[in-house]
Amino acid sequence: MNSKERLLNMRVANRKRVMVTGGAGFLGSHLCERLLEDGCDVLCVDNFYSGTKDNVAHLMSNPHYELIRHDVTFPLYVEVDEIYNLACPASPIHYQWDPVQTTKTSVHGAINMLGLAKRTKAKILQASTSEVYGDPEVHPQQESYWGHVNPVGIRSCYDEGKRCAETLFFDYYRQHGLEIKVVRIFNTYGPRMHPNDGRVVSNFIVQALRGDDITIYGDGLQTRSFCYVDDLIEGFVRMMGSPKDVTGPINMGNPVEFTIRELAETVLKMVGGKSKLVFKPLPQDDPKQRQPNITLARETLGWEPRVRLEAGLEKTVGYFRNFLAL
């Protein structure tokens, strides 16, 4: 074996094998892209319930990328070094369509992925959510807050499913010594969002581009904090690379708070046109305010968002403008 072959074998041996469940979704596709850029072998797992092959079509020619159609509620037998568990529909329209399956995806999916991590001794990251805080009575929300969640409401399949998944992660950590990482994602936006996912950023942009009235639920004074997708993915990678004793949960989101009405007006100004604001009743259990305290992420990971809302919205508007023109 010559020196060139030995160097090639060393590179192959040192290349991390990373699995991303929900890898064809909005966040998952960006994560797969980043991991490939970082020199990983990437196994993307998705059942295409809310994800789409279009999100990862540009990755298919990469020899270090592999796509498997699989539902995480069933066991998967592969060999991996790291697991990012993102599988679960994340928008109300999608997760309320089949709420039983949503709960199973969070709970059974966590059990199956934790079992895989235990067998392969892989590090595993759980993509949890700010929805574990419910309609919070503490503002901004910090990780020590236990939440204010309706366990029997129409959002419970997602909220409680994610809370139970966190429970399972920490029980595997305590009982089996598994290396876990738990991040709580706050509102994230960017290219490859589903145009019909019912989330405010994609809703407002698509309505404005089509010249439709922009629908605001409630009085528009409820608040959200919007994190651009590239910033979030950077947080994921830093969390996975953190020391073993850094388990989380850690909030990841943009602490700059906006009202829903401010977001709608910003999108209108950016897109132009003659769309008007239309107000409709607030859905059940819709949180009145959402803002992350990211002190822990700053101090532990040296992470905070860099992309300002206007800059991120410009890229997202450009994506949807091209998408709708197809």
pLDDT-derived band of residue 201, with 50, 70 and 90 as boundaries? very high
90-129 confidence digits (pLDDT tens): 877 787 888 999 999 999 999 999 999 999 999 999 999 9
Beta strands, E only, the chain: 17-21, 41-46, 65-69, 82-85, 123-129, 180-185, 188-189, 214-217, 223-225, 227-228, 250-252, 257-259, 277-280
What's the structural domain count of the chain? 1
Whether residue 159 lies inside any domain: the answer is yes
Judged against a pLDDT cut of 60, whether residue 231 lies above it is answered with: yes
**Nearest partner of 32 among 237, 310, 304, judged by Cα:** 237
215 is a domain residue:
no
Segments forming the whole domain that contains residue 131: 10-190+227-255+286-306
Q: Which residue has the higher pLDDT, 129 or 4?
A: 129
Is residue 295 situated within a structural domain? Answer: yes
**CATH number for 147:** 3.40.50.720
Instruction: Express as a percent the part of the chain with pLDDT over 90.
Output: 79
Q: pLDDT, tens digit, for every residue of 121-158?
A: 999 999 999 999 998 899 999 999 999 999 998 998 98
Query: What pTM, to 2 d.p., does this model score?
Result: 0.92
Q: Is residue 153 part of a domain?
A: yes
Residue 262 lies in a domain: no
Report in angstroms the alpha-carbon separations of 102 from 94, 95, 151, 191. Answer: 9, 6, 14, 24
* Per-residue pLDDT, 96: 84
| Active site amino acids | 158
**Does 106 reside within a domain?**
yes
Q: Is 272 part of any domain? A: no
Q: Is residue 277 part of a domain?
A: no
